[in-house]
Structure 1
Amino acid sequence: MAARARCSREALDAGPQPKDLPTVPLPAELQQSTWIADRAIAQLDELRESEDPFLLYVSFVDPHDPYDPPAEWAERFDWRSIPDPIPQEWDRATGPWQYAAFQDEKFELSTFDRETWLRLRAAYFASCAFVDHQIGRIREALSERGLVEDTVVIFTTDHGDVIGDHGLLMKGPWHYDKTVRCPMIVAGPGVAQGRRFDGLTSHLDVRPLVLELAGVDAGDSEGRALPIRESTLDTERGHERVAIETNTSYVAPADQVRTIITADGWRLTVFCDQAYGELFNLKVDPDEQTNLYDDPDHMGLRLRLTEELVAAMAAPAVVGRT
């Protein structure tokens, strides 16, 4: 029973033939992501007629389950070249009940063979590429309308997807790196080109960044503006720690999971009313395969991080700040 839905290489190579993955019987030009980009471009036509500053928020649904990119985009990704999922490191007998319940109740993940997993992952990557293409269309529209030199583009998302890593799918309440480390790209006038900031950041930092770009005082903010200019990239430090909260899950509407991630690479996650927890060293164990939560040599660190997490939860006004 303990190995029933393990996402190890042995489990991936066993099992029934792949299930048919969902497809959308529509060409790319009729997909929702295309429609969203079309509406954004149409909005740009209206906005350029005014000399007033503007903020245009464009929200794509994809990439998202059920992992159904247009067929012509899915064909660009050969599932045989896709890396296997990261193995499942938690045990069904001692791990969080949410993980096992999700495997059993939502997708019957124990029926997935290796080809199914890889086809699903290929479909996800195709969806990402399709959305990237739509964002490129919007960026090109800015250029064609003479707006690109005066417009800052911020690209990010609200969560990732484990797409089979750790024996799971989708977003949570699992706080594995692939679900909580989100892309963030800023481009435009005054923004350093081709540079990368490796400090610990949070989506709470987006609000003060947008206000700073607009010349507005952010005041007392939960986050702080991201360093995007040449003069700040090498001098600014990221947060010492960030806290993450999940208050529901696919298997329990009132589920509560809390995490703290530190600048020196530790992730501590606690599950409400459960003895199980997670403690990973993200620097030496980026695939999160060695859970040190119950390791005697790390009890002091676990206690300290737990205290820091409780303090962050008790003072939500400073969550995400150093």
Structure 2
Amino acid sequence: MVPELREYGPAREDLRAEIIAAQALFPESTREAYELPFPADVSQTAWITDRACEFLDTAEGDVFAQISYIQPHNPFSPPAEYVDLVNIDAIPEPTSAEWKNAPIPYYEQPRYAEPSYEIADWRRERALYFADLAHLDHELGRVREALARASRLENCLFIFTSDHGELLHDHGLLGKWERHYDPCIRIPLVIGMPGVRPGHYRQLAEHTDIAATIYHWAGLPAPALPVWGAADTEGMPMLHGRSLVPVATGKDEDMARSHVFIQSNNSHVEASPRSWARTIRTTRYRYTRHLAGGGEQLFDLIEDPDEQNNLAYDERYRDIREVLLADLAEATATDAYPNSPLHLFQVGSW
């Protein structure tokens, strides 16, 4: 998908052709999940850790490190030595494809003709995905060892999170995109810092809170926009996320959000508003609106945690739907605050 791969580097090598040739070595049925044909220490995940540890071992003074791993991501490709760590008998079965029972227009597209778990070896793909997680866990341990070697571990903010989830055949779906079921939008968020209160927090948080948390913990002023005619003021804050430091340290548990906002724009399957989706997720409900007439979903996540009964068209839930729809409209309009929503999305991106 990257045009530059056709003429890469000083030698202008055609890496795209090499990648396609390498993919051809694997049967079509295994290209989404396979064991790496080389040891873990030369895997992509280990390479990223090596570069991160080199930085942490040599950097001086206060530092910020964003270590972006690719795995676990399709194709699920763990090193072979991690596959045996997975107990295949304990792998849960995928949840049923709710959208097959009473499909909204979005799920009437040809690409949703049948659930993924009916045409793929979901058990094998889940096993390799979990093996990828075991490998990532090992590599994160190496990062923390590097922090300890540099005497940084006791006074650092360590955040582990993800950009999205993985449906992994739940609801008969793979990947992410605009299918906002919980396995797609509910992601890990682990925070370690001096004074952190151990435990599992049930407050809602979203990605916008990450930057606010980092600035707060580091004692740095958040970036601000100048305000016309008010040059002597601090300006308007650019960050509209909320710092999670008070929650994590137990100093303020009343900072909980009433809801979080999730959006998808243009999947790489289709660059059209039909592949856009907007969602409001509360502690109890998930309300999603698929654009271009794609329909709506409303699930009661307490009574129906597996999201099997769409209540969006149930008259008994009309008042709840209207409240969530109003919240969704406001969240959509104020998403880019304090700027107007003029950002452009790459056509066909995901």
Question: What TM-score comes out, normalization by structure 2 length?
Answer: 0.77
SS at match of 1:130: helix
Which one of the candidate residues 126, 133, 136 is aligned to 2:141? 136
1:169 and 1:229 map into 2 onto residues whose CA distance is: 33
Contact 1:101–1:251 (8 Å) recurs in 2: no
Match of 1:217 in 2: 221
Higher relative contact order (CA 8 A, sep 6+): 1
Match of 1:297 in 2: 316
Q: 1:215 to 1:141 in 2, by over 3 A?
A: same
Match of 1:246 in 2: 264
Which one of the candidate residues 144, 150, 165 is aligned to 1:145? 150
Counterparts of 1:57-76 in structure 2, within 5 Å, are 57-76=66-85
Structure 1: runs of 5 or more not aligned: 1-17
Which one of the candidate residues 280, 300, 303 is aligned to 1:284? 303
Contact 1:94–1:276 (8 Å) recurs in 2: no
Contact 1:103–1:110 (8 Å) recurs in 2: no
Q: Displacement, 1:41? A: 0.4
Match of 2:194 in 1: 189
Q: Which amino acid aligns with 1:22?
A: Y
Q: Displacement, 1:102? A: 3.7
Counterparts of 1:1-322 in structure 2, within 5 Å, are 19-20=29-30, 21-47=33-59, 50=60, 52-91=61-100, 94-97=103-106, 100-103=109-112, 110-112=118-120, 116-192=121-197, 194-218=198-222, 220=237, 221-226=239-244, 227-232=246-251, 235-254=253-272, 255-263=275-283, 265-274=284-293, 276-317=295-336
Contact 2:40–2:79 (8 Å) recurs in 1: yes
RMSD: 2.3
Contact 2:278–2:288 (8 Å) recurs in 1: yes
Contact 1:102–1:251 (8 Å) recurs in 2: no
Question: What TM-score comes out, normalization by structure 1 length?
Answer: 0.84
2:136 and 2:91 map into 1 onto residues whose CA distance is: 19
Q: 1:297 to 1:318 in 2, by over 3 A?
A: farther
Q: Which amino acid aligns with 1:300?
A: D
| Percent identical residues | 35
Match of 2:4 in 1: none
Q: Which amino acid aligns with 1:268?
A: Y
Give the aligned length.
292
Contact 1:162–1:169 (8 Å) recurs in 2: yes
2:321 and 2:66 map into 1 onto residues whose CA distance is: 40
Structure 2: runs of 5 or more not aligned: 1-27, 225-236, 339-350
SS at match of 2:326: helix
The CA deviation string for residues 243-302 of structure 1, in whole angstroms up to 9 with x for no partner, is: 111001242123211101124x11110111225211001122111111101111112221
2:316 and 2:116 map into 1 onto residues whose CA distance is: 37
Indicate the larger mover: 175-184 or 19-28.
19-28
2:98 and 2:248 map into 1 onto residues whose CA distance is: 40
2:109 and 2:206 map into 1 onto residues whose CA distance is: 29
Contact 1:257–1:269 (8 Å) recurs in 2: yes
Match of 1:12 in 2: none
